[in-house]
Chain A
Amino acid sequence: EAGVVQSPRYKIIEKKQPVAFWCNPISGHNTLYWYRQNLGQGPELLIRYENEEAVDDSQLPKDRFSAERLKGVDSTLKIQPAELGDSAVYLCASSLGGFGNSPLHFGNGTRLTVT
């Protein structure tokens, strides 16, 4: 099966500029996640979707971050305006849903550098 696809792989922007990341999950996976991974740390959840509904966005900085998952498939994560501290790898993952037994499948991530 095709894996989780993310684009772009790398993005360099100046602070205060907007940026968007795109994710295409594995076909049939109802649950989609966006994680942020700072250098030398484990991933931290930003937002989780069940189909097209954001069911957990408690860690998403809503003043500058937004996300959408149209038709319950592809998803876009946006930052506007970007800050220096947003430099990180943004990982998208998908799963069949449920609890425990359905592992997360991760994409290769988008490495964002804000200068």
Chain B
Amino acid sequence: AQSVTQLGSHVSVSEGALVLLRCNYSSSVPPYLFWYVQYPNQGLQLLLKYTSAATLVKGINGFEAEFKKSETSFHLTKPSAHMSDAAEYFCAVSVDKAAGNKLTFGGGTRVLVKP
């Protein structure tokens, strides 16, 4: 069975600083990987996805993530944080074709942006 680990339940960054959110996955087969963002009292919105094409994936709002098979990682970055980036971010994995798009989520990382 697949699993996802997000290192750090809370991250605090200054406005304009680099945002780095860590995600490691466990899977015996090539995975599909996703990052979702959740703003307060809202559902999850897809930021980006890796589906075995380019290992560096660009998403919305200036975010990008790099798939590293050797490290089983899919870390999310943004060069310069904006106040509007304050939200909770979830990494998710899908590996089982028989399960369709069944996503397994990590525990989430809440991002606080300081002015």
Contact = CB atoms under 8 A, between A and B. Distances in A.
Interface of A: 4, 31, 40-45, 48, 50, 55-56, 91, 93, 95, 97-109, 111
Contact of A97 (B44, B49, B94, B100): B100
Interface residues of B, number: 26
5 contacts: A40-B108, A41-B108, A48-B102, A93-B43, A99-B100
Nearest to A45: B102
A91 B43 contact: yes
A1 to B, nearest CB: 14
A44 B105 contact: yes
Contacts of B103: 43, 45, 104
A97 B43 contact: no
Contact of B101 (A98, A106, A107): A98
Nearest to B39: A108
A4 B43 contact: yes
Interface string B1-42: 000100001000000000000000000000010101000011
